[in-house]
Structure formats: C-alpha cells, structure tokens
Structure 1
Amino acid sequence: MFSTPSTAQYEVLQGEYSLPVVILSVLIAWVAAYTSLSMNERSHKSSFFHQNLWLVFAAISMGIGVWAMHFVGMSALSLPVHMHYDRLLTFVSIVPAMVASFLALYVSSRSRRTKKTFWIAGLMMGAGISIMHYVGMAAMKMEGVIYSYNVWLWLASVLLAVLVSCVALYVFSMLQHQSERFVVRLIIALILGLAVSSMHFTGMSAITFYVPSDQPLMSGKSHLEEVLFLVKSVSVSIILLLCVFLFSSMLDRYAEHQLRYVDSLTRLPNRRGFERNVAHLPYDALAIWHLHDLESLNRAHGYTFVDELIQTTSLLFTSMKPPLTDLYRLDGHRFAYVARGAKGVQALREAMEKTAERLKQPLLVKERQVKLETVCAFSTSTDKETPAELYSQAMAVLNHPTIEFQHEIIHYNPIVHTQSFAQSLIDDVERAMAENELYVVYQPKVSTSLRRMLGVEALLRWEHPEHGFLSPGVFIPILEKHNRMMDVTDWLIDQVCQQLQAWQTNKKHDWLVAINIPGNYVTSPRLLDCVTNRMEFYGIDPKYLELEITETSFVKKIDEAIEAVNKFREQGLAVALDDFGTGVSSLSYLKKIPITTLKIDKSFIDGVPESEKDAAIIQSIISLGESLKLKVVIEGVETKEQVDYLITTCNAPVIQGYYYSKPLKPEEVPAFFDRCLSLPDVC
C-alpha cells in the first residue's frame, strides 16, 4: 500500500481533473449534509415517525452523500487507461459511511455531552468517511495499473476527516437550538461537506498511479466521455433520493401543522389556528355562526349524519366567504368569519345577509332535508378594540337571554349585551370555583444560559358550560370591575399551594411558582393573611412562591405598596414587578421597592428584532434590571429570532412564552422539567 514500484518497470501515470465534475461532487456532499441535518432536527420534535427512524434517515442521507461524492469525485479524474468498478465493493463501501453517520449523530445528540463526546462522535464520522473512501478506492479496477500512498498525506486525510467532523458536530450540537434556521443549517452543512470533500481530495493527492512502461494508453478524452454518463446517472439518482428524504421531512411538518391547526372534519382552520392568526393579524369585524341543538340531531340521526351535516354547512360557509375574509371552525357548533379593512367589513356584512337567507332553506344531507336553527353574532371594531374584546362582544350576543335561533344577523349593542354577559359571569364565578370550571395551568420560565426550567407562572382558565372556553382577557377585567378578583385570587393561591404540596409529595418539585395579584389587592392585609395561612396549611416553603404585581398597583398607592412588598419579603416570598414599562414608570420608586424580579411586557418583545425602537427599549430595561441586580424575565417570546436577539442582548435572560412551551396542565409540568434536565436542548 505504501511501497513504491521499480521505476525501471513502471512509470507514473498522469491524470487530469474535470473542474465542473469536482464542483458537482462538492455540491453533492453539501446537499447531503444539509439533508442529514434536516432529518436529524426532526428527531428532536414530535412526529409521526420515531426519533431513531429520523436518525436512520439522516444517516442514510449522509452515507449516500459521502458515497456519491466519492464516486463523482473519482469520476472527475481522467486517466488514459481502461477502468471499471467492482460492483460488490462499490455498494459495500456505502455501509461504513451510513453506520458511522448514525452513531455520530446519535452520540452528539445525547443530553449529557462533554468534549470527549464530540471527539468520539467526530472520530466515528471521520473513520466512516475514511473507510468509505479507501474501500471505494479498492473497488476501482484499472488494467495493469498499481498505486501506492504517501503515508503522511494518507494520515493527513484521515486526521482531516476526523478533525473537521469534530468541529462540525460540535458546532451543530452547540447551535442545535437554532438548527431550525436555514442559514445555521446551511453553514453547518458546509462544514460537514468540507470534511467529506477535503478528506477525499487529500486522499487522492496521497495516491500515485503507476503503469507498466510498455502498456499502450487510451485517449483521456474518450475515457472522460464514458465516465460522464455514469456521473450524470448517479448524480440524478442521488439527487432524487435526497429529494425524497427532504419531501418526507416537509410532509411530516405539514402533517404536524394539520393536526395542530386544522379541523379534521371540515379542513378549516380550528380554534388554535384562529387564536394564533388573530394574535398576529388583528381584525376589524367578527361574525360567529352558532348552529343550535345539534345534540338533538345526534340523538335522532346519529353522529355520522351530523358530521355530514357539518361538512355540508362548512361548504356553504366557504362558498359564501367574501375576499379579505378568513373562515374558522371554532368548535363543534360554531364557525367564525374574520374580516380586515373597511372594504372587508362591508363585504362581510353583505355576505352574512346572503348566508342567512340561504340557511332559511333546508339543507340536503344523505337525501334528507334538514332545516338548521342558526344565529349570527356580528361585532365590529369602532374604537380599536382588541381581538379578545371583539370575541367577547360576539359571545355576549350569543349568550344573551333574548337570543333566538332564526337565522338573524345580530349586531353587538353595548347597551343591550354587555351587562347581560358580564352579569352572567359574576353570577357564575362561585360555581366555577366550586365545580372546577375555573382551573389553573402553568407556563414554564426557562433560563437560556442554564438551559433548564427555573419556574412557572400560574395562569387562570375558565371552561364555561354555556359560553365555552373564556379567555382570561375576557373574564378577568369583568371580575376586577365587579370586585370579585380578590375571591378568585384567594382560590388561586389555595390551588397553587395544594399543587405544590402534591408535587413535593411525589418528589417532583424544584421550581418557583408565580401568582398574579390584582392591583387593588396588593395593599390589602387580607392578601398576606391568605398567603401565610395557605402556606402553613399545606406546608409550603415560601421560597417556592413568587407574587407578581403590576406596575399600576404601585403608582396608585406607592407608600402602601412598598410597605406591603416589604412584608412579603419578610415572609421569604419573592416579588416580581409584572408588565414593566406599561404603566407610569418611575425609577426613583423602583429603587425603593424591594422586588426580586423585573418582568418585561410582551408588547415590547413583539417588534423585536425588526423594530429598532422596541429593541432599544428592551436593551434599556434589561440594563436597568441588571444594574439593580434583579432577575429579568421576558414574557411573550414566540419566535427563534426573538430568542436569538435576547441571548445576545442579556447576560442570562429568563424567557417565558410559546417558543419554549405553552401553558401546561399540572401533571405535564414535571415531565417538562425532567425533559429540560435530560435534554437541555429542549430548553
């Protein structure tokens, strides 16, 4: 292998490289690496396919890419001798690359990683690339030709493959939480492609071909033409195979989106899609159609018949949908239209009138005529109402006691509807607490530096038997206006302390729980009595509780608020200043208040990093918090771009938002906490 033949009998065989084919081989390695990383990313997410199956797909992609790069790279070399490949060795040579790729990706994706881990993974990847290369070289058969390797260049090729693989896997692992970003994946793929290409061409420079002195030589050009046909055939097949793998990844993402945001029966966006879309694109008009008494139809004709009825109704609603309007299925018996802009609102009004006329006629379902009882609630934005307020207005219409299901279009009237809806919630709140219609979910707060969950915020939810799911933005202002939030807060404190006891009993608790306190309750002696009583009753250490109070509660009664917070701190409770920046901020007051945490309101993060003004405000608040030695929590973080910006702006930001986790049920919190410990990249 390393010995040089006699120069008397052999002469050195000179070859030429085709630059376009060399470039093609490098591109194949790059595309294969990118495909492999895309597959590997899917292994860390919920999917139809098992995690290890995605790793297998990633390994196959990488293995095929390494193999194809070698074959095409070899074909770029034109030698004036007859050459063919041993088919068995050619196909066997792909195995080491696949196996090594799987092991390397598996090891580098483990939760517990050290520098030794990356060396082991890089050694596996580099060894697989090298073995594939030299087995592939052994598969190359040339009449009368022998070859030898320069031992130093041979070693350099292997070491280069290992070293660059280590670097690529290390960078990939460190940036795994950013691997969804196209540019990041592209750069890491470039490094991995460089590992494959550099190893191949360094290995090729280490080899010298010898041919007997008396052997006639072929035309290099004719050899090149013969090889180019093979290059094109293999390249096309490899690219098609890689496209299949990429398509499977896209299909999995599409299926995930469909399950999460699309109603399976009507194929319309569901409530989750409605909440996501209107949060980013506020609307100017909302029309909700309520299909009445479907349960009677279920009993009379069966669920299959009613499903077909809903599909028929959905098609009718879709056919009536005007431009500039979106249609959603909110739940089993409600559909919603949202319109934007003055033209969209007017078009929606006209379309709803036509829809009402059509619904007065029977619908034909399974050769049966069915006459639905329906009503449409219509609310429009007259003074920049939020989406939550428009939804509340529409629900107030639907839940008014005078409502009749006679295909009417009923416009929201604040004089008629508001008091009725608000009063119904006030009347029902006692029952809601007693019968667990009110319930608590917990949204994690994640440290970006420690990659772990540090705490959760307790959030109220209300599943009303008549109104359905009520957003906190709808019912909390009503309860506050009618002085019922103190009672609800006491109930919330009891529920949280009870849950803390349950977590501690099961030895599944090591995090802080934050509770929102209404502004007018902060200075009441009743609050401190309730908190201390519940902690003592359930045996809760104060270090596990944090009270979140809003900035406006300080502005109204600053001296009393400071005194109240001092008492909380004396009891060992943490205190966070919530929604900082939305009230009338006073730095002179801020330095007097013994708070532990500064929470930056979601409204400031929404425009980051695109908005320079929002970014400047965020940087100023973070600097202020750090200078006062306060923990800074940024809420409402939803995108990777926002996370990346905050990581570079703040020393150790704690992030709360849908990017890391939606609000979780109590039983889901320990699992998320454990997942962060065992798989830090989840956090």
Structure 2
Amino acid sequence: MFSLPNPNEVIFLQGEYSTPIVFLSIVIAFFASYTALSMNERIQQNSFFHKYYWLGLASIAMGLGIWSMHFIGMAAFMIPVHMKYDVTITIISVIPSVIASFLAFYFASRTKRSVLSFMLSGIIMGLGISIMHYVGMAAMVMEANYVYKPGLFGLSIGLAMVVSLIAIYIFSTKQRLMKNYIIKSLTALLLGLAVASMHYTGMKAIAFYIPISSNNLIIDHHMNEMNTPLLILGVSIGIFILLFLSVITSILDRYVHYRLNYFDSLTKLPNRRQFEKNYNITSNSRILAVLHIHELDRWNGENGYDFGDEIIQRVGEVMFRLKPLSVGVYRIKGNRFALLTDDARDFERFKVAMRQILSTLSKPLEINDHLLSLKMVCAYSTTDKGSDVNKLFDNTMAVLNHPTIRYENEVIEYDPVIHTYTFERNLLDRIDQAMCNNELYLVYQPKLCLKTYTIIGVEALLRWEHPIHGIISPAVFIPLLEENGKMFRVTDWIIEEVCKQIDEWKSLRKPVLQVAINIPGPYVTSPKLIKTLKNSIEQYNIEGKYIELEMTETSVVKNIESAIQAVNVMREYGFSVALDDFGTGVSSLSYLKRLPITTLKIDKSFIDGIPDSEKDSAIMKAIIALSTSLNLNIVIEGVETKEQIDFLTAMNESLIIQGYYIARPMNAEKLPDWHTDFTIRQDKILL
C-alpha cells in the first residue's frame, strides 16, 4: 500500500484535472455543508420534529455531500487508462461519511460542550471524510496499479480533521451569528474546503503505475475519463432530492410552528399572539370589539372542562360565520374573543353583525343534554384619522372593566365621558409584564429568636417598582390582585424566585435561612400549589425545610377539612406551616388543635399597645400561653421598641420576633452581609 515499486520495472502515469468539474466538486461540498449546518440549526430550536430527525437529515446531507464531492472530483481526474467503479463498494463508501457526520454533529450539538467534545467531533468528521475517500478509491477498477505516499497520505487525514474541527467549533460556539447568512456561508465554505482539501491532497498522495512487462496493456495516448455526464447527473439528482426534501420539511416545520404559536388549538381561530401582531400594524382607521363570556368558570366547575370547551367552540363558530368578510376574529383569552377591522368606514355593518352575533348566542344552547343560556357582553371602540389608534384596545377594555357593566348580551360602545381606564385596571393588565421585566421583586425581613439572639429565618415580602408610578404599596396592589384572581400566579412566581435565591445562596456558600412565603387564602387547598412547590424544590435541588408557608386563619376556617389535608401534604414534603395573623379573624381553638401547623404568627395589632395597655398585655400573655401548651413556635410581628422586647423576653425567652427593631426588609444582595455583621456584633456583646 505504501511501498513504491522499482522505477526501472514500472511506468508511472500522470493524470490531469478538468478545472470546471473540480470547481463543481467544491461547489457541491459547499452546498452540502450549508444544508447540513442549516439542518443542525433546527436542532437548537423548538421544532415540531424531534431533534434526531434534523440530526439524521443533516448527517445524510453532509455524508452524501462528501460522497458526491469525491466522485465528482474523480470524474474530473483524467488518466491514460480505462477506469470504472465497483458498484457495491461505491454504494458502501457513503456509509462511513454519514455515520461520522451523525456522531460529529451529535457531540457538537450537546448542551454541555467542552474542548474534548469539539476535538472528538473534529476527529470523527475528519476520519469519516478520509475513510469515505479511501473506500471510494478502493472501488476503482482500472488497468493500472497504485500506491500511497505515506507523508501526503497522513497529511490528507490531518487536514480533514483540523479544518473539520475549526468549522464545527465556529458553528457550535457562534450559533447566534449563524442567522447572518454571510457568516454561515463562510462556515459552510470552511467545512466544504475540509472535504475538498482532503480529497485532492489524498489524490496527490497516489502514484499510479503499470509494470513494463505488462504486454497486454495498451496505454492510450488520450486521457480517458469516466462516464462523467452520467455520474454528475446521478449525483446531482441525489443532491436535488435531498435539498428538496429538506426545504419541504423546513417549510412544513415552520407551518406547524406557525399554527401552534399563532392559532388557538380549540377553536382553530387566530390567537392573542396573532391578534397583537395584526393590531400593531399601523392603520389610520380601525374598529375593535371584544366579546366577553360571563361565568365560564362556573360552567367548567359544574360540568367539567370539556363542557366549557364546547361552549367556546360554539361561540367561535357563530362569530366566524356571522362576521363581515373584512373583519378578523381572534380568541385572545379563555373567555374572550376579539374582532378587528381596518375598514372603519363600514361602521354600521359592523354594529349590525355584533348585534346579530349576540342575538344568536343569547338563544338557549343545548350542550351534552344541558340547556343553558349564556351571559355575555360585547364592547367596541373605533378610531379615525384624528384619533390615537394605539389606545383602541385600552378603550375597549375600559368598557369591559367599568363597574357599571352588565352581562345582558349588550353591545356597548366606548364613551370617554363614561368609561375610564382606571389606575387599578392598569396594574392588573400589567402584572404579567411586571413579572417578566423584574418590576416585581422580593425583599426579606429577618426573624430573631430571643433566647439565642440569633437570626433563624426571614419572610419574603413582595414589592413593585412601576416604571411610571414608581414604588407601589403592597397594601394597594396585593388586595387588587387577590380580588381579581391574579395572586395565584404571582405566588407561583414568588415560590420560584425564593427557591432560586436559596440555591444561589448555597452556591455562593452564604448563610441559608428559612424563608417564609405568604400563601393567599383559596390557594392553600389547591393541588396546583403542592405541584408548584414540589417542582420548584426539585428544580433547584433544595430541601423543604428551607421554606415556611404562611396562611391566614380566615382562609383555613372557610374549608377546614381541605385545609387539614393540604397542610398534611405540605408537612410530608418537609415544609414548615405557619398560621398568620392569628387573632384577627374568627379564632377557633378546635380548628387550631386539629391543624398540623408548626408556627403561630401573632398579628402586629396585638403588640402595638404593649406594655402600656393592660388589656393588650393580658391578651398577648394568653395567646403565648396557649401556643406554648400546643408546642408551637411563636412569631410576633411588628416589634419596634426596646420596651416591647423586654416585655416579651420576660414572658417567654423562646419567642421569635420580627419588626423594624431588628431590621427593615432588605434585598437578597444585602441580606447575607447584614446577617454576618449582626452575628459579629452579637458575639462581641456576649464576649
């Protein structure tokens, strides 16, 4: 294989290349590399098709490109002997390049990548290109012999590995730049050159010869080529089919992605995302109507979600059937549909259609043997050339959110004199954006054990810094969120933020304190709360003992059996459970005895009067005595003076206090340093 024959016994043959076909081979390698890289991009994205589907297509594209480049390059090679190929070995030769491409792309596309994984990818890809080349060479059937020059043979393999490594490294580490077609094209060209450089260096390593004693061999005075047109045609058809399939698949994937992201799966109507996209298109005149179905939650609760889904589908069908042709209908929320048109000139026909829709839907509907009458309202607003088009949605929502609204199948037009978009509605509509934009944030207020004078935990408190209104008091926005059913989602956000913060403290080797989280009343008994808590501690790998859940006694008393069951589940996961604001609601000793809580938290209103007020002091002593007899931890909120501290210490040294006397709430960055300073100060006092 590497032993050159005696020059006196053989005749060495010199080949030539057809420049246009050489150029074609490099172009084929480039396009195959570009196609493979484009398919590899899909692996990093959320796609309807599994990532291994795109990985397989990318591997086939790259492998077939390597194979095609080789044989087109061989078609460009002219030598003065007859040459043909063994079909079986020729077909087999494509397998190494496909397998090597798959393995290389697999290692390079993993989430956790290292220098070793890139080197492994480059080596595998280089070996795949090389093996394909030399297996392809073994498929040659010709009236001549050949051997390899060891130096150039090794150089060809080394070139393939190094250039493959560089190309794969650039592609994998610069994914965000691959959206730039020029950069992606340069990367594909680099990978294509890895294939071409290996091939032509490998060809340079070959020495073709014939023995002088071969009497039967006739050397042509003209260069003999393979059936070049047929080979190029076959390879080109194969590449075209692959590219066609990849384009069709990509189009299908984008279509499925578009349908999933811009259309409602239940009604098949455009969803809120599509509505916002169309709404943000500039227009001089426009009409927007929003139809709100009332009491959908009640229908879901009484008859199940399938029943509610049937209601939504019926409403969607009626709206789509009766809307004017120029009007788009969208499902923008669970119980809301929107109708939008840029043709405000046809205002009267739009109003007639709205009334017809409500008239049709106001008739009793029969769903699953149930006869029901829907309650709904349709609010609409219009703009003309002189109006602010951007306020159209706000104006329409102002109608729906106005306290005078009645769900009696009315069509109501926005009237700036009557309908105002209130500050409260603005806060409600912005809450999701506030969570995403870090307008909502948490502060932590320490809790001190009087017996040891050490910090044993903190309470997470919610704050809101509005971009327009500045710092908004929790006393303003929390009741508003609770009244409008928004507090559950915010609580989920708080739980995740707390778990994330505990994980960060652990990773930075900072002191980790137990964090108390307030749970809104009705959410205490929701299965979703347990699921959210479980998922969060598992995601951030923290123990339940680091979290205490605070619930008010009024929320517990309303549904005591469910509350007991829910608290038991919380305790099973290791969470501490505190009864907050004890004494402010309808306190019941029988409920307190049955609840498996760990902590009783006494409201600030009981501490404000002590020690001056005899009644407040007597009540405080009774509550502390009761809690102690039940073996509960006791937390006193709102401690602000030294006199209060002395009074509480005299009654029970095991009390836990929280308030401005110890520290004001602070952000997560300041808390560890404050805690360290506080501990040092106390140690000095004890010394």
The two structures have a TM-score, normalised by structure 2, of 0.59
Cα deviation, 1:47-85, whole Å, max 9, x if unaligned, reads 334434433332222112111111222122233433322
Per-residue deviation, 1:394: 0.6
Per-residue deviation, 1:137: 0.7
2:465, 2:472 within 8 Å by CA — same for their partners in 1? Answer: no
CA distance in 2, matches of 1:283, 1:159: 64
2:104, 2:122 within 8 Å by CA — same for their partners in 1? Answer: yes
CA distance in 1, matches of 2:496, 2:234: 64
Say whether 1:458 aligns with 2:440.
yes
Say whether 1:237 aligns with 2:244.
no
Instruction: Find the counterpart in structure 2 of residue 59 from structure 1.
Output: 59
CA distance in 2, matches of 1:252, 1:536: 61
CA RMSD of aligned residues (A): 5.2
Say whether 1:391 aligns with 2:393.
yes
Per-residue deviation, 1:311: 5.1
Per-residue deviation, 1:192: 0.5
Give the counterpart letter for 2:397 in structure 1: M
Matches within 5 A, 1:518-667: 542-544=667-669
Give the counterpart letter for 2:162 in structure 1: L
Instruction: Find the counterpart in structure 1 of residue 337 from structure 2.
Output: 335
1:479, 1:485 within 8 Å by CA — same for their partners in 2? Answer: no
Cα deviation, 1:112-169, whole Å, max 9, x if unaligned, reads 4444443332222112111111111111111x21112233322222221112112112
Instruction: Find the counterpart in structure 2 of residue 35 from structure 1.
Output: 35
Per-residue deviation, 1:257: 2.9
Per-residue deviation, 1:29: 1.3
Instruction: Find the counterpart in structure 2 of residue 25 from structure 1.
Output: 25
Change (3 A) 1:294 1:247: farther
Per-residue deviation, 1:385: 4.3
Q: Which has the larger displacement, 287-296 or 96-105? A: 287-296
Per-residue deviation, 1:543: 4.1
Instruction: Find the counterpart in structure 2 of residue 161 from structure 1.
Output: 160
Cα deviation, 1:314-348, whole Å, max 9, x if unaligned, reads 543665225xxx54321344332445xxxx34245
Give the counterpart letter for 1:417 in structure 2: H
Change (3 A) 1:497 1:161: closer
CA distance in 2, matches of 1:440, 1:501: 19
Per-residue deviation, 1:289: 4.0
1:476, 1:485 within 8 Å by CA — same for their partners in 2? Answer: no
Cα deviation, 1:494-537, whole Å, max 9, x if unaligned, reads 9987765444556787699xxxxxxxxxxxxxxxx9xx978999
Change (3 A) 1:70 1:400: same
CA distance in 2, matches of 1:43, 1:392: 40
Per-residue deviation, 1:253: 3.3
Per-residue deviation, 1:459: 7.3
Instruction: Find the counterpart in structure 1 of residue 353 from structure 2.
Output: 355
Change (3 A) 1:201 1:347: farther
Change (3 A) 1:424 1:136: closer
Residue 320 of structure 1 is aligned with which of 303, 322, 325? 325
The structure, 1 or 2, with the larger RCO (C-alpha pairs under 8 Å, 6+ apart) is 1
Say whether 1:180 aligns with 2:179.
yes
What is the aligned residue count? Answer: 495
CA distance in 1, matches of 2:234, 2:51: 32
Instruction: Find the counterpart in structure 1 of residue 546 from structure 2.
Output: none
Per-residue deviation, 1:407: 7.5
1:109, 1:173 within 8 Å by CA — same for their partners in 2? Answer: yes
Per-residue deviation, 1:28: 1.8
CA distance in 1, matches of 2:257, 2:668: 39
Instruction: Find the counterpart in structure 2 of residue 378 from structure 1.
Output: 380
Matches within 5 A, 1:185-264: 185-211=184-210, 214=215, 215-217=217-219, 223-224=225-226, 226-264=227-265
Per-residue deviation, 1:234: 2.0
2:399, 2:405 within 8 Å by CA — same for their partners in 1? Answer: yes
Matches within 5 A, 1:272-311: 272-278=273-279, 285-290=286-291, 292=293, 306=311, 309-310=314-315
CA distance in 2, matches of 1:16, 1:132: 22
Instruction: Find the counterpart in structure 1 of residue 628 from structure 2.
Output: none
Give the counterpart letter for 1:320 in structure 2: L
Give the counterpart letter for 1:261 in structure 2: Y
Matches within 5 A, 1:391-430: 391-400=393-402, 410-418=412-420
Instruction: Find the counterpart in structure 2 of residue 603 from structure 1.
Output: none
Instruction: Find the counterpart in structure 2 of residue 484 from structure 1.
Output: 476
Q: Which has the larger displacement, 59-68 or 378-387? A: 378-387
Instruction: Find the counterpart in structure 1 of residue 79 from structure 2.
Output: 79
Identity %: 35
Give the counterpart letter for 1:331 in structure 2: K
Cα deviation, 1:586-626, whole Å, max 9, x if unaligned, reads xxxxxxxxxxxxxxxxxxxxxxxxxxxxxxxxxxxxxxxxx
CA distance in 1, matches of 2:141, 2:171: 38
Change (3 A) 1:504 1:378: closer
Partner SS state of residue 419, structure 2:
helix
2:78, 2:224 within 8 Å by CA — same for their partners in 1? Answer: no
1:100, 1:127 within 8 Å by CA — same for their partners in 2? Answer: yes
Give the counterpart letter for 1:121 in structure 2: S
Partner SS state of residue 377, structure 1:
strand
Partner SS state of residue 484, structure 1:
helix
Matches within 5 A, 1:102-113: 102-113=102-113
Change (3 A) 1:283 1:27: farther
Partner SS state of residue 48, structure 1:
coil
Change (3 A) 1:92 1:425: closer
The runs of 5 or more residues in structure 2 that have no matched partner are: 443-463, 511-639, 641-656, 677-687
CA distance in 2, matches of 1:282, 1:537: 58
Change (3 A) 1:126 1:494: closer
Give the counterpart letter for 2:199 in structure 1: H
Cα deviation, 1:404-428, whole Å, max 9, x if unaligned, reads 6787653311111117x667889xx
Instruction: Find the counterpart in structure 2 of residue 346 from structure 1.
Output: 344
CA distance in 1, matches of 2:321, 2:3: 82
1:535, 1:542 within 8 Å by CA — same for their partners in 2? Answer: no
The runs of 5 or more residues in structure 1 that have no matched partner are: 445-455, 461-471, 513-528, 547-568, 573-683
CA distance in 1, matches of 2:274, 2:481: 30
Q: Which has the larger displacement, 248-257 or 279-288? A: 279-288
Per-residue deviation, 1:37: 1.4
Instruction: Find the counterpart in structure 2 of residue 129 from structure 1.
Output: 129
Cα deviation, 1:372-412, whole Å, max 9, x if unaligned, reads 8875432245776474x432211222344665678765331
1:38, 1:249 within 8 Å by CA — same for their partners in 2? Answer: no
Partner SS state of residue 413, structure 1:
coil
2:77, 2:225 within 8 Å by CA — same for their partners in 1? Answer: no
Cα deviation, 1:208-264, whole Å, max 9, x if unaligned, reads 32245652356968845x231122112211221233134324433332232122222
CA distance in 2, matches of 1:459, 1:262: 33
2:293, 2:336 within 8 Å by CA — same for their partners in 1? Answer: no
CA distance in 1, matches of 2:35, 2:223: 34
CA distance in 2, matches of 1:443, 1:291: 26
